[in-house]
Amino acid sequence: MIYIGNHVSVSKGYLAMGRHEHKLGGNTFAFFPRNPRGGKSKQVSAEDMEALRQYISDNQFGKLVVHGAYTMNVCAAKDEIRANSREMMRDDLLRLQSLPGNFYNFHPGCHVGQGNQTGVRQIAEAVADIIRETEQTSKIPLQNKVLLETMAGKGSEIGGCFEELKAIIDLAVSIGGEELRGKLGVCFDTCHIWDAGYDIQTDLDGVLAHFDDVIGLNDLCAVHLNDSKNTCGSRKDRHEQLGKGMIGADALCAVVRHPLLQNRPFILETPNDDAGYKQEIQTVREWMLR
């Protein structure tokens, strides 16, 4: 069973996203609850969220992978940006308390100068604080797992290696308590890990074994399925359509078919219009039947 889908615009509301994805042939999707570049999130009615919840249940969708805004940087050097980023994430998670059982992923952030160790600590503190605050405000436990995304390691980006993600999770748990462990996970972006230097083309088994050693495959909750415009280790982060980049169709096919990666939502973040996404969803479904 594969759950495959793509990024969908929230501009027409929540239920509209589910219907749109269904038309493209997908059975999961991702969306930005606010403008991906930041700013105010769209006002959504409780009815619209409930309608989507019912729709994805009726149509047997996999878990959705909601994406935090790119502009969020909870380890920014400036206090004001950090505070603002925390506010955005808290607002997203609070709203998603009404859409339970899904994932919320975000880019760990860029330390922009204060060093990886400080960055890791700031991210861990932010995650622990925000989850606690979300639970206090909504008066119920966190309803969606929070996923740290594997990054390409561009510039001062945190999360370009599995060890850093593990360090964030462990530190967040040591701050927030052991019950936080089940509320955190990782989103595995194929373009990003390739660009970070993990060779999933010639050694997918080795990369997954390493992930399992460092973090544990149980915590690999979702996959961003992208080809890359650049070579392994380039640290560039430029996505490409499936099969048209340097990772290639055979290696990406091996990812979606890998026995250790089954039953996860796979999200396309490839440069595409709707027709392109529809085609890629079809392609991935064909790979599963090979």
Q: Which residues on adjacent β-strands are paired with residue 215?
A: none
Residue, CB closest to Zn ion: 237
Q: Which residues on adjacent β-strands are paired with residue 95?
A: none
Whichever of 49 and 148 has its CB closer to Zn ion, that residue is: 148
Whichever of 15 and 200 has its CB closer to Fe ion, that residue is: 200
- C-beta separation of 179 from 173 below 8 A: no
3-state secondary structure 58-91: HCCCCCCEEECCCCCCCCCCCHHHHHHHHHHHHH
- Residues 227-266 touching Fe ion, rule: CB under 5 A, are none
CA distance 126 to 148: 12
Q: Report the partner that residue 157 touches, choosing among Fe ion, Zn ion, none (CB closer than 5 to 8 A by kind).
A: none
Task: Say whether residue 237 binds Zn ion (CB under 5 A).
Answer: yes
Whichever of 97 and 150 has its CB closer to Zn ion, that residue is: 150
- C-beta separation of 223 from 254 below 8 A: no
Tokens of 19: 């219907």
Residues with Cβ < 8 Å from 262, sequence gap 6 or more? 1, 2
- Residues 126-185 touching Fe ion, rule: CB under 5 A, are 149
Q: Give me the least distance between CB of 20 and Fe ion, in Å please.
A: 20
Q: Give me the least distance between CB of 191 and Fe ion, in Å please.
A: 7
Q: Report the partner that residue 237 touches, choosing among Zn ion, Fe ion, none (CB closer than 5 to 8 A by kind).
A: Zn ion
Whichever of 55 and 277 has its CB closer to Zn ion, that residue is: 277
Q: Report the partner that residue 224 touches, choosing among Zn ion, Fe ion, none (CB closer than 5 to 8 A by kind).
A: Fe ion
Task: Say whether residue 189 binds Fe ion (CB under 5 A).
Answer: yes
Task: Say whether residue 227 binds Zn ion (CB under 5 A).
Answer: no
Residue range at the interface with Fe ion (CB under 5 A); choices 33-41, 44-52, 256-264, 267-275:
267-275
Q: Report the partner that residue 48 touches, choosing among Fe ion, Zn ion, none (CB closer than 5 to 8 A by kind).
A: none
Tokens of 170: 């462990």
- C-beta separation of 228 from 260 below 8 A: no
User: Is residue 85 helix, strand or coil?
Assistant: helix
Whichever of 107 and 183 has its CB closer to Zn ion, that residue is: 107
Nearest to 82 by CA among 93, 97, 96, 71: 71
Q: Give me the least distance between CB of 207 and Zn ion, in Å please.
A: 17
Q: Which helix H or strand E contains 189, and what residues bound it?
A: strand 184-189
Q: Give me the least distance between CB of 161 and Zn ion, in Å please.
A: 16
Task: Say whether residue 224 binds Fe ion (CB under 5 A).
Answer: yes
- C-beta separation of 8 from 20 below 8 A: yes
State phi, psi for 194 to the nearest 5 degrees.
Answer: -60, -50
Chain residues in the site for Zn ion (CB under 5 A):
237
Chain residues in the site for Fe ion (CB under 5 A):
149, 189, 224, 269
